[in-house]
Amino acid sequence: MSLRVRMVVLAVGLLGLAAMLVAAFRKLPGFGGSWHPYGQRAVETALGRHTSNVIASINFDQRAFDTMGEQAILFGAVLGTVVILRTTRDERRVEPEPARVPAPLRRYALAVLPVTLLTGLYVVAHGQVSPGGGFQGGVVAATALHLLYIAVDYRALQRVRSVPLFTLADAAGEAGYPLLGLGVLMTGASFLENVLPYGTLGTLSSGGTVPVLNAAIGLEVAAAVVVLLAQFLDQAIVIESEDGEQGAGSVGDGDGRRGEGGAA
Protein backbone atom coordinates (compact mmCIF):
# COMPACT_ATOMS: atom_id res chain seq x y z
CA MET A 1 0.00 0.00 0.00
CA SER A 2 1.50 3.33 -0.97
CA LEU A 3 1.78 6.14 1.52
CA ARG A 4 -0.97 8.06 -0.24
CA VAL A 5 -3.50 5.24 -0.12
CA ARG A 6 -2.66 4.71 3.52
CA MET A 7 -3.33 8.36 4.35
CA VAL A 8 -6.67 8.25 2.52
CA VAL A 9 -7.73 5.11 4.42
CA LEU A 10 -6.67 6.74 7.68
CA ALA A 11 -8.58 9.96 6.92
CA VAL A 12 -11.77 8.05 6.03
CA GLY A 13 -11.47 5.97 9.19
CA LEU A 14 -10.83 8.93 11.48
CA LEU A 15 -13.65 11.00 9.97
CA GLY A 16 -16.08 8.08 10.25
CA LEU A 17 -15.07 7.49 13.86
CA ALA A 18 -15.39 11.21 14.60
CA ALA A 19 -18.93 11.28 13.21
CA MET A 20 -19.94 8.25 15.27
CA LEU A 21 -18.33 9.66 18.42
CA VAL A 22 -20.17 12.99 18.05
CA ALA A 23 -23.46 11.13 17.47
CA ALA A 24 -22.81 9.09 20.63
CA PHE A 25 -21.79 12.11 22.71
CA ARG A 26 -25.10 13.84 21.89
CA LYS A 27 -26.94 10.96 23.58
CA LEU A 28 -24.83 11.07 26.75
CA PRO A 29 -26.26 12.82 29.81
CA GLY A 30 -25.24 16.49 29.59
CA PHE A 31 -22.00 17.58 31.25
CA GLY A 32 -22.44 18.65 34.87
CA GLY A 33 -25.94 17.23 35.28
CA SER A 34 -27.27 16.09 38.66
CA TRP A 35 -28.43 12.61 37.59
CA HIS A 36 -25.87 10.12 38.96
CA PRO A 37 -27.79 7.06 40.20
CA TYR A 38 -24.73 4.84 40.69
CA GLY A 39 -22.69 7.59 42.32
CA GLN A 40 -25.46 8.32 44.78
CA ARG A 41 -25.79 4.68 45.82
CA ALA A 42 -22.01 4.30 46.07
CA VAL A 43 -21.82 7.33 48.39
CA GLU A 44 -24.62 5.95 50.59
CA THR A 45 -22.95 2.53 50.80
CA ALA A 46 -19.53 4.03 51.58
CA LEU A 47 -20.94 6.15 54.40
CA GLY A 48 -22.83 3.13 55.68
CA ARG A 49 -19.47 1.36 55.94
CA HIS A 50 -17.79 4.34 57.64
CA THR A 51 -15.34 5.04 54.82
CA SER A 52 -14.97 8.78 54.31
CA ASN A 53 -13.06 8.45 51.01
CA VAL A 54 -15.81 7.09 48.80
CA ILE A 55 -13.36 6.27 46.02
CA ALA A 56 -11.32 4.00 48.31
CA SER A 57 -14.55 2.33 49.41
CA ILE A 58 -15.47 1.64 45.78
CA ASN A 59 -12.01 0.35 44.85
CA PHE A 60 -11.37 -1.83 47.87
CA ASP A 61 -14.83 -2.75 49.08
CA GLN A 62 -17.77 -2.30 46.71
CA ARG A 63 -15.77 -3.21 43.60
CA ALA A 64 -12.93 -5.07 45.32
CA PHE A 65 -13.21 -7.97 42.89
CA ASP A 66 -12.72 -5.60 39.96
CA THR A 67 -9.60 -4.17 41.59
CA MET A 68 -8.23 -7.70 41.90
CA GLY A 69 -8.43 -7.94 38.12
CA GLU A 70 -6.70 -4.55 37.76
CA GLN A 71 -3.84 -5.52 40.03
CA ALA A 72 -3.46 -8.80 38.14
CA ILE A 73 -3.03 -6.78 34.91
CA LEU A 74 -0.48 -4.61 36.68
CA PHE A 75 1.42 -7.67 37.88
CA GLY A 76 1.28 -9.28 34.46
CA ALA A 77 2.62 -6.15 32.77
CA VAL A 78 5.52 -5.93 35.24
CA LEU A 79 6.28 -9.63 34.82
CA GLY A 80 6.29 -9.25 31.04
CA THR A 81 8.63 -6.26 31.21
CA VAL A 82 11.05 -8.12 33.50
CA VAL A 83 11.10 -11.13 31.19
CA ILE A 84 11.56 -9.08 28.01
CA LEU A 85 14.29 -6.83 29.44
CA ARG A 86 16.36 -9.52 31.19
CA THR A 87 20.07 -9.65 30.41
CA THR A 88 20.48 -12.05 27.48
CA ARG A 89 23.48 -14.20 26.61
CA ASP A 90 24.92 -11.77 24.08
CA GLU A 91 24.86 -8.90 26.58
CA ARG A 92 27.08 -8.01 29.49
CA ARG A 93 26.80 -5.73 32.47
CA VAL A 94 29.25 -2.85 32.69
CA GLU A 95 29.05 -1.23 36.10
CA PRO A 96 28.99 2.58 35.84
CA GLU A 97 31.77 4.75 37.25
CA PRO A 98 31.08 6.69 40.45
CA ALA A 99 29.66 10.07 39.49
CA ARG A 100 30.52 13.48 40.88
CA VAL A 101 27.43 15.40 41.99
CA PRO A 102 27.37 19.15 42.75
CA ALA A 103 27.14 19.63 46.52
CA PRO A 104 23.94 21.77 46.55
CA LEU A 105 22.12 19.22 44.37
CA ARG A 106 23.27 16.41 46.65
CA ARG A 107 22.16 18.23 49.79
CA TYR A 108 18.79 19.13 48.31
CA ALA A 109 18.04 15.66 46.97
CA LEU A 110 19.10 13.96 50.21
CA ALA A 111 16.90 16.36 52.21
CA VAL A 112 13.90 15.80 49.95
CA LEU A 113 14.23 12.00 49.81
CA PRO A 114 12.90 11.16 53.32
CA VAL A 115 10.16 13.79 53.00
CA THR A 116 8.97 12.30 49.70
CA LEU A 117 9.13 8.76 51.07
CA LEU A 118 7.14 9.80 54.13
CA THR A 119 4.59 11.61 51.94
CA GLY A 120 4.15 8.45 49.88
CA LEU A 121 3.63 6.28 52.96
CA TYR A 122 1.25 8.88 54.43
CA VAL A 123 -0.80 8.89 51.24
CA VAL A 124 -1.00 5.07 51.30
CA ALA A 125 -1.93 4.94 54.99
CA HIS A 126 -4.68 7.56 54.76
CA GLY A 127 -6.32 6.10 51.65
CA GLN A 128 -9.58 5.34 53.44
CA VAL A 129 -9.82 8.82 55.02
CA SER A 130 -8.57 11.45 52.57
CA PRO A 131 -7.68 11.55 48.84
CA GLY A 132 -4.97 9.01 48.18
CA GLY A 133 -4.43 5.31 48.62
CA GLY A 134 -2.21 2.45 47.58
CA PHE A 135 -2.17 3.28 43.87
CA GLN A 136 -1.04 6.90 44.27
CA GLY A 137 1.08 6.60 47.40
CA GLY A 138 2.86 3.54 46.04
CA VAL A 139 4.09 5.48 43.01
CA VAL A 140 5.22 8.44 45.15
CA ALA A 141 7.10 6.23 47.62
CA ALA A 142 8.81 4.33 44.81
CA THR A 143 9.95 7.44 42.95
CA ALA A 144 11.30 8.85 46.24
CA LEU A 145 13.85 6.05 46.34
CA HIS A 146 15.21 7.15 42.96
CA LEU A 147 16.19 10.55 44.33
CA LEU A 148 19.20 8.61 45.58
CA TYR A 149 20.31 8.25 41.96
CA ILE A 150 20.18 12.02 41.54
CA ALA A 151 21.80 12.76 44.91
CA VAL A 152 24.63 10.22 44.76
CA ASP A 153 24.90 7.89 41.75
CA TYR A 154 23.58 4.68 40.27
CA ARG A 155 25.74 2.47 42.46
CA ALA A 156 24.20 3.95 45.61
CA LEU A 157 20.72 3.27 44.24
CA GLN A 158 21.72 -0.29 43.33
CA ARG A 159 22.93 -0.93 46.87
CA VAL A 160 19.63 0.16 48.42
CA ARG A 161 17.38 -1.30 45.75
CA SER A 162 17.67 -5.06 45.80
CA VAL A 163 15.66 -6.06 42.73
CA PRO A 164 14.97 -9.66 43.91
CA LEU A 165 13.64 -8.30 47.18
CA PHE A 166 11.32 -5.82 45.47
CA THR A 167 10.19 -8.48 42.99
CA LEU A 168 9.30 -10.62 45.99
CA ALA A 169 7.44 -7.68 47.59
CA ASP A 170 5.54 -7.16 44.33
CA ALA A 171 4.50 -10.82 44.28
CA ALA A 172 3.58 -10.66 47.99
CA GLY A 173 1.26 -7.71 47.36
CA GLU A 174 -0.22 -9.42 44.32
CA ALA A 175 -0.78 -12.69 46.17
CA GLY A 176 -1.86 -11.01 49.39
CA TYR A 177 -4.94 -9.47 47.79
CA PRO A 178 -6.73 -12.70 46.77
CA LEU A 179 -5.40 -14.46 49.89
CA LEU A 180 -7.14 -11.82 52.00
CA GLY A 181 -10.27 -12.53 49.98
CA LEU A 182 -9.91 -16.25 50.70
CA GLY A 183 -9.33 -15.49 54.38
CA VAL A 184 -12.68 -13.70 54.37
CA LEU A 185 -14.24 -16.88 52.92
CA MET A 186 -13.02 -18.74 56.02
CA THR A 187 -15.20 -16.55 58.21
CA GLY A 188 -18.26 -17.66 56.28
CA ALA A 189 -18.71 -14.43 54.34
CA SER A 190 -18.41 -14.15 50.56
CA PHE A 191 -15.15 -13.50 48.69
CA LEU A 192 -13.59 -10.11 49.53
CA GLU A 193 -16.61 -9.07 51.58
CA ASN A 194 -16.00 -6.36 54.15
CA VAL A 195 -16.07 -8.38 57.39
CA LEU A 196 -13.91 -6.33 59.77
CA PRO A 197 -15.55 -3.83 62.17
CA TYR A 198 -16.24 -0.58 60.31
CA GLY A 199 -14.70 1.68 63.00
CA THR A 200 -15.32 5.41 63.33
CA LEU A 201 -15.86 7.52 60.20
CA GLY A 202 -12.83 9.68 59.42
CA THR A 203 -10.24 7.84 61.54
CA LEU A 204 -7.32 5.70 60.38
CA SER A 205 -8.97 2.51 61.63
CA SER A 206 -12.18 3.02 59.65
CA GLY A 207 -13.50 1.18 56.64
CA GLY A 208 -13.11 -2.45 57.75
CA THR A 209 -11.03 -4.36 55.18
CA VAL A 210 -10.44 -1.25 53.04
CA PRO A 211 -7.12 -0.25 54.70
CA VAL A 212 -5.87 -3.86 54.58
CA LEU A 213 -6.49 -4.33 50.86
CA ASN A 214 -5.24 -0.79 50.30
CA ALA A 215 -1.95 -1.69 51.99
CA ALA A 216 -1.57 -4.79 49.80
CA ILE A 217 -2.05 -2.62 46.70
CA GLY A 218 0.35 0.01 48.06
CA LEU A 219 3.03 -2.64 48.54
CA GLU A 220 2.45 -4.08 45.08
CA VAL A 221 2.44 -0.74 43.26
CA ALA A 222 5.53 0.61 45.06
CA ALA A 223 7.48 -2.60 44.41
CA ALA A 224 6.22 -2.73 40.82
CA VAL A 225 7.41 0.81 40.06
CA VAL A 226 10.82 0.14 41.62
CA VAL A 227 11.23 -3.07 39.60
CA LEU A 228 10.05 -1.40 36.37
CA LEU A 229 12.40 1.56 36.74
CA ALA A 230 15.22 -0.85 37.65
CA GLN A 231 14.71 -2.67 34.33
CA PHE A 232 14.79 0.53 32.28
CA LEU A 233 17.69 2.08 34.22
CA ASP A 234 19.69 -1.13 33.83
CA GLN A 235 19.02 -1.13 30.10
CA ALA A 236 20.00 2.50 29.69
CA ILE A 237 23.04 2.51 31.97
CA VAL A 238 24.44 -0.93 32.78
CA ILE A 239 23.54 -3.51 30.13
CA GLU A 240 25.18 -3.44 26.72
CA SER A 241 25.52 -5.92 23.91
CA GLU A 242 28.74 -7.85 23.36
CA ASP A 243 29.19 -6.59 19.82
CA GLY A 244 30.87 -3.26 20.11
CA GLU A 245 28.30 -1.13 21.91
CA GLN A 246 30.23 1.46 23.86
CA GLY A 247 30.44 1.68 27.63
CA ALA A 248 28.05 3.66 29.77
CA GLY A 249 30.50 6.35 30.72
CA SER A 250 31.90 6.74 27.22
CA VAL A 251 32.06 9.79 24.99
CA GLY A 252 28.75 10.76 23.46
CA ASP A 253 26.71 9.33 26.30
CA GLY A 254 27.45 12.14 28.68
CA ASP A 255 28.60 10.92 32.05
CA GLY A 256 26.07 8.14 32.38
CA ARG A 257 23.72 10.39 34.30
CA ARG A 258 21.51 11.69 31.55
CA GLY A 259 17.95 10.56 31.28
CA GLU A 260 16.79 11.23 34.81
CA GLY A 261 15.28 14.64 33.97
CA GLY A 262 11.73 13.73 34.85
CA ALA A 263 12.45 12.04 38.17
CA ALA A 264 12.51 15.19 40.28
Task: Please report how close the Cβ of residue 38 comes to another protein at its closest, in angstroms.
Answer: 5
- Residue 154 contacts another protein per CB under 8 A: no
Task: Please report how close the Cβ of residue 186 comes to another protein at its closest, in angstroms.
Answer: 27
Which helix (H) or strand (E) is 241 found in, with range?
Answer: strand 239-241
- Residue 133 contacts another protein per CB under 8 A: yes
Alpha-carbon span 148 to 132, nearest angstrom? 24
- Residue 33 contacts another protein per CB under 8 A: yes
**Interaction with another protein in 222-241: which residues (CB under 8 A)?**
224-225, 228-229, 231-233, 235-236, 240-241
- Residue 147 contacts another protein per CB under 8 A: no
- Residue 214 contacts another protein per CB under 8 A: no
**Interaction with another protein in 65-84: which residues (CB under 8 A)?**
67, 70-71, 73-74, 77-78, 80-81, 84
- The binding track of 191-210 with respect to another protein, each residue x by CB under 8 A or -, is ----------xx--------
- Residue 2 contacts another protein per CB under 8 A: no
- Residue 43 contacts another protein per CB under 8 A: yes
- Beta carbon nearer to another protein, 80 or 98: 80
Task: Please report how close the Cβ of residue 197 comes to another protein at its closest, in angstroms.
Answer: 19
Q: How many CB atoms lie within 10 A of CB 152?
A: 18
Alpha-carbon span 144 to 263, nearest angstrom? 9
Alpha-carbon span 138 to 134, nearest angstrom? 5
CB proximity list for 234: less than 8 A, separation 6 or greater: 85, 87, 93
Amino acid at 65: F
* Selection from 195, 218, 64 nearest residue 132 by Cα: 218
- Residue 102 contacts another protein per CB under 8 A: no
Alpha-carbon span 19 to 1, nearest angstrom? 26
- Residue 34 contacts another protein per CB under 8 A: yes
Alpha-carbon span 51 to 204, nearest angstrom? 10
